[in-house]
Structure 1
Amino acid sequence: MATYKKRGYKPKTKAEKADVLEEQSTTAEVFNTLDQGASKTEEWVAKNQKYIFIIVGLAAVIVLGYLGYNKFIQEPKESEAMNDMFQAQKYFDEAINTGVEKDSLFNLALQGGEGKFGMLDIISEYKGTDAANLASYYAGMAYLQTKDYSNAVEHLSNFKSDDVVLGPIAQGSIGDAFIQLEQKEDALDYYTKAANMSSNAFTTSMYLFKAGNVALELGQHSKALGFFKRIKEEFPSSTEAANIDAFIGKAEAASN
């Protein structure tokens, strides 16, 4: 059994002397093992020092390269892209807000005018930028407004956003395009996706309502009923909730 020994303690018996010698021997072995381990580590480092420096150097190059790319290439590129997109965005806004020569303005937004880039140029020239991503949204919506539904689907599908309103509108607009292409099953998928992307009284209730009506047309009455009930329960103050009981009744009647 081990006992606590005060500092300066001197062994009195042979047994105690033997214990002390054994303890000192064990301690020496421990430190010797540690010394050997340290020596082996030092030998390994010395032997592989060249490779260690290469690995550390490569890691530094990758990190600095990434930071440098963002600072000196990506950021200026984003700024340049947004500047080049200004005129096209102006055409788009005019088409939405004024309604005068609407199709012509949307085409200018797409193709460019006055020597300035259009949205299609931004997408082509500035691939991988936030500006090009946003240009895909504008292009898709412009094609939707000018009834070029296939191109609307293509460009809106390329747009990515986590925004609680913009993201659902892009997906729901793909659904609108599929309605015009008479692909109702696809439209229902996109309306459902748009409704589930976020939860708000504007986009969620709007796309639940559109999904419910398309589901009714497709004969999917129980699914339509579920969409309409969600509007009533989750968004009772929304525009779509105003006459929702009539649609719930219609879906229930069709289900029976």
Structure 2
Amino acid sequence: MANPIEKNGTPSAEELLTKREASFLKYKNVIISVVAAIIVIIAGTILYNKNKYVAEPRQEEASTALAKGQEYFANQQYDKALNGDGTGYTGFVKIASDYSSTDAGNLANLYAGLCYANLNKWKEAVQYLEDYSTAGDMMISPAAVSALGDAYAHLNELDKAVDCFKKAAKMADSEADDKTNNSLSPTFLIKAAEILESQNKKEEALDIYNDIKKKYVNSAVSQEIDKYIERATTK
């Protein structure tokens, strides 16, 4: 699978992270929700093709219901994806409720949370992203936890957001072959550190930046990490 993560723009070393700038970065970083959505669509299709979710009749029924929602989601028709189209498709919200005991129902929670995020309905996004049960995978679950972090950030629950981004990085690393996911983890950690800077917790942010420099030497982020380090050390 190609790396779906888009690299955020890096401020110059001379720019201090003011509260206004931190807010801008926080709202811009909702891009990860879209990233997570792409991962879910691709991985979901693969899993269905392998019949992971259709081992039983109820699973098959749920995954069939989910498929139409995936189409609406891919076409950015988030309202229809969430609430149905009135012509047979009932929506992610109802699928999540009606098939809560199935894997497809669980996946509907993730899709619903991402839809609400794209509609700027952050409380609802948190509700469904929290209800999504993560698994031991390297891409989907970490991205889902990061998306939850974005939602918390938009609600100004910054400590929870930082915890989510750190957790997402740890999850991504734990499933990587060498315990280092150079694609996802540094991206998540950068977001955590930027929020810490906005809270004037520069030492904590600096620790994260230094860890990125040491551990993720093959990542794209590491090529510019010195700018983040210099910014965090500026008094």
Check whether TM > 0.5: yes
CA distances 1:147-178 after superposition (whole Å, capped 9, x unpaired): 00011111011111222111111111111111
Q: 1:74, CA displacement in angstroms? A: 7.2
Equivalent in 208, 232, 251 of residue 189 of structure 2: 208
> Percent identity, aligned pairs only?
31
C-alpha root-mean-square deviation of aligned residues, in Å? 1.6
Secondary structure of the structure 1 residue equivalent to 2:205 = helix
| Distance in 2 between residues matched to 1:239 and 1:143, nearest whole Å | 30
Secondary structure of the structure 2 residue equivalent to 1:242 = helix
Equivalent in 133, 137, 141 of residue 167 of structure 1: 141
Tell whether 2:171 aligns with 1:197: yes
- Aligned position for 1:111: 83
| Distance in 1 between residues matched to 2:55 and 2:95, nearest whole Å | 15
Q: Kindly provide the amino acid, as one letter, of the partner of residue 200 in structure 2.
A: G
| Distance in 1 between residues matched to 2:201 and 2:171, nearest whole Å | 22
Q: Which has the larger radius of gyration?
A: 1
| Distance in 1 between residues matched to 2:172 and 2:192, nearest whole Å | 15
Structure 1 unaligned residues grouped into runs of 5+: 1-72, 96-104
Q: Kindly provide the amino acid, as one letter, of the partner of residue 144 in structure 2.
A: A
Q: Kindly provide the amino acid, as one letter, of the partner of residue 174 in structure 1.
A: L
Q: How does 1:68-107 map to 2 (within 5 A)?
A: 75-95=56-76, 105-107=77-79
CA distances 1:14-68 after superposition (whole Å, capped 9, x unpaired): xxxxxxxxxxxxxxxxxxxxxxxxxxxxxxxxxxxxxxxxxxxxxxxxxxxxxxx
Assess if the C-alpha contact under 8 Å between 1:85 and 1:117 holds in 2.
no
Q: 1:198, CA displacement in angstroms? A: 2.2
Q: Kindly provide the amino acid, as one letter, of the partner of residue 78 in structure 2.
A: F
Structure 2 unaligned residues grouped into runs of 5+: 1-53, 174-180
Q: Kindly provide the amino acid, as one letter, of the partner of residue 209 in structure 1.
A: I
Q: 1:239, CA displacement in angstroms? A: 2.9
Assess if the C-alpha contact under 8 Å between 1:123 and 1:132 holds in 2.
yes
More relative contact order, 1 or 2 (CA 8 Å, 6+ apart): 2
Specify which structure has the higher proportion of helix. 1
* TM-score normalised per structure 2: 0.70
CA distances 1:60-112 after superposition (whole Å, capped 9, x unpaired): xxxxxxxxxxxxx97110011101111111101121xxxxxxxxx00111011
Q: Kindly provide the amino acid, as one letter, of the partner of residue 232 in structure 1.
A: K
* TM-score normalised per structure 1: 0.64
Q: 1:146, CA displacement in angstroms? A: 0.5
Assess if the C-alpha contact under 8 Å between 1:122 and 1:132 holds in 2.
yes
| Distance in 2 between residues matched to 1:121 and 1:179, nearest whole Å | 27
Equivalent in 200, 207, 212 of residue 231 of structure 1: 212
| Distance in 2 between residues matched to 1:141 and 1:122, nearest whole Å | 15
Q: Kindly provide the amino acid, as one letter, of the partner of residue 152 in structure 1.
A: A
- Aligned position for 1:140: 113
CA distances 1:186-220 after superposition (whole Å, capped 9, x unpaired): 21111111121121112211111001111111122
- Aligned position for 1:246: 227
Secondary structure of the structure 2 residue equivalent to 1:243 = helix
| Distance in 1 between residues matched to 2:183 and 2:118, nearest whole Å | 21
